């Protein structure tokens, strides 16, 4: 029972928040049996709890709020739990009420931070709060507030127009037929604005029941097993999914609606991965890294004899993949937010492995899972510890040729430059 005589006590908190509000909130919440002091975000005074005038806050990558990320429950769920507890533990009603007030304060802060994070929200703050901001919409707004901004702004403008007319008419005591029509039209406009807002944030609501069920099943499987392809997902769903759900249908559903249920393309082509509050759900990091390298990476040796392995991705999701891979592997060097070219809006991100230790760790781990670049990986791994200069040159030529062999003109130019033929290059791989 989360309602003991300890409610409100601080002696067992074990942390020292920078501000009084954070201290009060965490002191109360810490009595919950699922409270984990190590997850309390109080490293700096710039936390979400610092003050009411929040300009920005970095929410979880899947759009979860602070309460959801920290405790696994949204504000409404915690409040319902507290109210139930209050009916049983009447001796601590005041303390429980204090917790409820704290949670409501945090929720208000989350709402303000969500709105302030939007580049287009200035002047529309009150409209956004009133047009429809339940927990589901808040999460969607954090995820799609920028990418779907045009329709969301239009919905806000329609809502503002309707409320302006309604307020004017409400102050007018002398109504005729025209005013009645204006009132009815304004109410309809308000309804349409809310519908546009909801439809923009929750496009998945337009799907059939069988398609929604399919996405729910896919989400569960990806959460349970990590990265999977459409064929495997359909195979696992035999007897569960509707007969119309084919591999191509799965791919289409994820392409159109996957992000709404936190499903994204994985690093390897044709596979998908689930995103939760802590990041991408990756069950086998080496298999995942191998798929990433095969699809969007390179293994090479420079002319100066420097071995390299590089993962390349673009956009926000690509950045997330590089960051998650870097965190999971514990090695490599991140280079983020590079412009592809001067006029490009999208950014490019790299995870680079250049030191001998990093290359050994990476290549030994992914070798059993590589499909397209296994030969290059073996050659570079051998190159790292090779002492003989002649053999190192052979390995350089082997890697370079195989990286370009699909480009006949480029490959032939290398053979001409080295005065070698393809068979000779192929023989360099025999001892690997």
Q: Convert the pLDDT of each residue in 62-118 to its tens digit.
A: 999 988 988 888 899 999 999 998 888 888 888 889 999 999 999 999 999 999 999
Lowest mean pLDDT among 245-249, 259-263, 281-285, 313-317: 313-317
What is the average pLDDT value for the chain, to the nearest integer? 86
Q: Grade residue 337 by pLDDT with cuts at 50, 70 and 90.
A: confident
Residues 40 and 25 sit within 8 Å (Cβ to Cβ)? no
**Entry pTM:** 0.72
What does the pLDDT read at residue 18? 46
DSSP state of 270: T
What is the average per-residue pLDDT within 215-227? 95
pLDDT score at 245:
94
The conformational region for residue 349 under phi > 0 = left, psi -120 to 50 = alpha, else beta, is beta
- What backbone phi and psi angles, to 5 degrees, belong to 28? -75, -50
What whole-number distance in Å separates Cα of residue 226 and Cα of residue 266?
10
Alpha-carbon distance of 296 to 154, in angstroms, equals: 38
Question: Does residue 36 have a pLDDT over 60?
Answer: no
d(CA 351, CA 321) in angstroms, rounded, equals 10
Which tokens go with 351? Answer: 């995870």
pLDDT at position 2, please? 41
Q: Specify the pLDDT at position 89.
A: 85
- Pairing relation of β-strands 347-353 and 333-339? antiparallel
Q: Taking residues 119-139, what's their average pLDDT? A: 94
Tell me the two tokens of residue 423: 């068979």
Distance from C-alpha of 28 to C-alpha of 24, rounded to nearest angstrom: 6
Q: How many CB atoms lie under 10 A from the CB of residue 416?
A: 9
Best-predicted range by mean pLDDT (52-61, 85-94, 147-156, 310-319) = 147-156
Is 39 a residue whose pLDDT tops 70? no
> What pairing do the DSSP bridges indicate for beta strands 347-353 and 271-276?
unpaired
User: What percent of the chain is modeled with pLDDT above 70?
Assistant: 86
How do beta strands 307-314 and 347-353 pair? antiparallel
Predicted pLDDT at 25: 53
| pLDDT of residue 31 exceeding 90 | no
Better-scored residue on pLDDT, 21 or 214 = 214
Instruction: Round to whole Å and give the CA distance between 267 and 245.
Output: 24
Q: 148 near 200, Cβ under 8 Å?
A: yes
* Residue with token string 């809502």: 159
Residue 7's pLDDT is 38
Would you give the distance in Å from CA 127 to the centre of its chain?
27
Classified as helix, coil or strand, 394 is helix
Distance CA 192, CA 243 (A): 36
pLDDT value, residue 71 = 85
pLDDT in tens, 267-308: 777 899 999 988 899 999 999 999 999 988 999 999 999 999
What does DSSP say about strands 263-265 and 228-229: parallel, antiparallel, or unpaired?
Answer: unpaired
Give the C-alpha separation, 134 to 132, whole Å: 6
Mean pLDDT of 356-368: 95
Mean pLDDT in residue range 129-151: 94
What is the C-alpha separation between 46 and 57, in angstroms, rounded?
Answer: 9
pLDDT for the residue 72: 87
């Amino acid at each position: 029972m989360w309602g003991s005589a300890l409610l409100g006590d601080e002696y067992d908190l074990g942390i020292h928040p920078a501000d009084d509000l954070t201290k009060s909130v965490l002191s109360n919440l810490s009595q919950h049996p699922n409270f984990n002091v190590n997850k309390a975000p109080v490293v700096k005074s710039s936390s979400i709890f610092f003050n009411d005038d929040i300009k920005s806050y970095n929410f979880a990558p899947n759009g979860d709020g602070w309460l959801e990320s920290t405790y696994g429950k949204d504000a409404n769920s915690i409040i319902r739990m507290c109210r139930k507890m209050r009916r049983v533990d009447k001796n601590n009603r005041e303390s429980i009420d204090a917790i409820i007030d704290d949670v409501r304060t945090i929720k208000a802060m989350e709402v303000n931070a969500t709105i302030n994070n939007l580049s287009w929200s200035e002047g529309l703050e009150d409209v956004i709060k009133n047009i429809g901001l339940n927990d589901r919409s808040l999460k969607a707004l954090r995820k799609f507030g920028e990418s779907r901004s045009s329709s969301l702004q239009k919905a806000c403008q329609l809502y503002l127009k309707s409320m302006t007319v309604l307020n004017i008419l409400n102050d007018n005591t002398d109504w005729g037929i025209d005013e009645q029509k204006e009132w009815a039209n304004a109410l309809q406009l308000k309804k349409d604005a809310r519908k546009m807002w909801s439809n923009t944030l929750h496009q998945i609501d337009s799907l059939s029941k069988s398609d929604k069920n399919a996405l729910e099943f896919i989400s569960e499987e990806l959460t349970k097993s990590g990265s999977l392809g459409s064929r495997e997902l359909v195979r696992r769903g035999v007897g569960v999914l509707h007969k119309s759900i084919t591999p191509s249908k799965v791919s289409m559903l994820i392409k159109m609606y996957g992000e709404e249920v936190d499903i994204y393309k994985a690093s390897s082509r044709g596979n998908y991965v689930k995103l939760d509050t802590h990041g991408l759900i990756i069950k086998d990091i080496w298999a995942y890294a191998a798929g990433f390298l095969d699809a969007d990476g390179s293994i090479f040796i420079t002319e100066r004899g420097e071995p390299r392995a590089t993962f390349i991705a673009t956009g926000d999701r690509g950045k997330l993949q590089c960051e998650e891979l870097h965190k999971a592997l514990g090695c490599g060097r991140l280079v983020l937010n590079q412009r592809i070219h001067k006029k490009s809006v999208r950014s490019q991100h790299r995870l680079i492995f250049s030191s001998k230790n990093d290359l050994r760790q990476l290549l030994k781990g992914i070798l059993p899972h590589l499909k397209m670049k296994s030969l290059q990986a073996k050659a570079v791994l051998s190159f790292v510890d090779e002492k003989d200069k002649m053999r190192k040159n052979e390995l350089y030529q082997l890697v370079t040729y195989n990286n370009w062999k699909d480009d006949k003109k480029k490959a032939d130019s290398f053979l001409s430059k080295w005065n070698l033929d393809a068979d000779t290059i192929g023989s360099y791989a025999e001892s690997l």
